[in-house]
A and B are shown apart, each in its own frame.
Chain A
Amino acid sequence: MKTYLLVSALLFSVGLAGALTRRNAIIVLVGVELMLNAANLNFVAFWRHSADPRVLDGVMFAVFAIAVAAAEATVGLALVIAIHRHFKSANVDDASRMKG
């Protein structure tokens, strides 16, 4: 149980480090995905070690989180492509002007 939680915490931190520092918008998104997945691992681990595994809350949360992450990836990548069209770059720093 503790192992899973520690793995999840590590994954979260790695994802956070990437999302905070990388310049390419796609990699930032990848970092966010990693953080979401770390949370999912927690949900499933807590379900496994809960008092009654017939209560499916943990698993359900993981399934919904996967669906939401898919939606997030769609919109995020569409934004990246739109930004790339506009600024001719996928780097987050280059998209800092506040005018259209």
Chain B
Amino acid sequence: MDLILALLAGATVGAAVAAMALRDVVHCVLFLTVSLIGLALLYLKLGAEFVGFVQVLVYVGAVAVLVVFAVLLTRGGDAPTERIANAPWSGALVAAAVFAMLARAILGSPSLGSPSPETPVPTLSVKAIGEGLTGGYVLPLQIVALLLTAAMIGGVVIAMREKEGE
């Protein structure tokens, strides 16, 4: 395990913990962004350049900004004074149990037991992705297009409805 990977992994998980534990909603969202950028760098380290940059473009450029917009619109920007979580210890306990199970599965897996041979980092050619999207993955692509359109219309309708009623 090399140093860069350790640093990236630590930053990603640390930022995720901060995003879940801090009081101020805006700080949570900013730490979520840090965590997502860390994930994008992990993708780059895995050789998946395209996925990494798409991750930054979609998550940092769109989703994080959407979330902060929602925070501002719901006046979540002021730091909450009441308690922020219900039964935090039982939640943490459940999560720890889930992690223990996953870790047991990962560490105990026979196929992962032997150290994987060091293969050179594969290059992910965008051309291959494009051909895949218009070839074997056309149906998922179209379904995603439909889903995104539906989500867009749905988002507009849900957010608009009560305003029209006034």
Q: Which of B13, B119, B128 has the most CB of A within 10 A?
A: B13
Task: State the CA gap A44–B9 with chains docked (Å).
Answer: 15
Question: Would you give the shortest CB distance from A7 to chain B, in whole angstroms?
Answer: 5
Task: State the CA gap A26–B78 with chains docked (Å).
Answer: 14
Q: Are B70 and A82 in contact (CB under 8 A)?
A: no
Q: Which of A16, A21, A53 has the most CB of B within 10 A?
A: A21
Contact residues in B for A74 (Cβ distance below 8 Å): 66, 151-152, 154-155
Contact residues in A for B147 (Cβ distance below 8 Å): 67-68, 71
Q: How many A-B residue pairs have CB under 8 A?
A: 229
Known: A49-B116, A90-B74. A41 touches B39 (CB 8 A): yes
Q: Are B95 and A14 in contact (CB under 8 A)?
A: yes
Known: A33-B32, A75-B158. A3 touches B5 (CB 8 A): yes
Task: Tell me if B122 counts as interface (CB < 8 A to partner A).
Answer: yes
Task: State the CA gap A79–B20 with chains docked (Å).
Answer: 21
Interface residues of B (CB under 8 A from A): 1, 5, 9, 12-13, 16-17, 19-21, 25, 28-29, 32, 35-36, 39, 42-43, 46-48, 50-51, 54-55, 58-59, 62-63, 66-67, 69-71, 73-76, 80, 83-88, 90-92, 94-96, 98-99, 102-103, 106-107, 112, 116, 119, 121-122, 124, 128-129, 132-133, 137, 140, 144, 147-148, 150-152, 154-156, 158-159, 161-163
Nearest to B117 among chain A residues (CB) is A49
Q: Are A12 and B20 in contact (CB under 8 A)?
A: no
Q: Are A63 and B129 in contact (CB under 8 A)?
A: yes
Interface residues of A (CB under 8 A from B): 1-7, 9-18, 20-24, 26-27, 29-31, 33-34, 37, 40-41, 44-45, 47-49, 53-54, 56, 59-60, 62-64, 66-75, 77-82, 84-86, 90, 93
Q: Are A22 and B70 in contact (CB under 8 A)?
A: no
Q: Are B28 and A30 in contact (CB under 8 A)?
A: yes
Question: Would you give the shortest CB distance from B66 to chain A, in whole angstroms?
Answer: 6
Task: State the CA gap A75–B98 with chains docked (Å).
Answer: 28
Supply 17 A–B pairs (Cβ within 8 Å), ascending by A. A7-B9, A10-B99, A16-B95, A21-B91, A26-B29, A27-B25, A31-B20, A34-B35, A53-B124, A54-B128, A56-B128, A70-B63, A74-B152, A77-B70, A79-B158, A81-B159, A82-B161
B84: which of A6, A14, A15, A23 is its contact (CB, 8 Å)? A23
Task: State the CA gap A61–B63 with chains docked (Å).
Answer: 19
Q: Are B19 and A30 in contact (CB under 8 A)?
A: yes
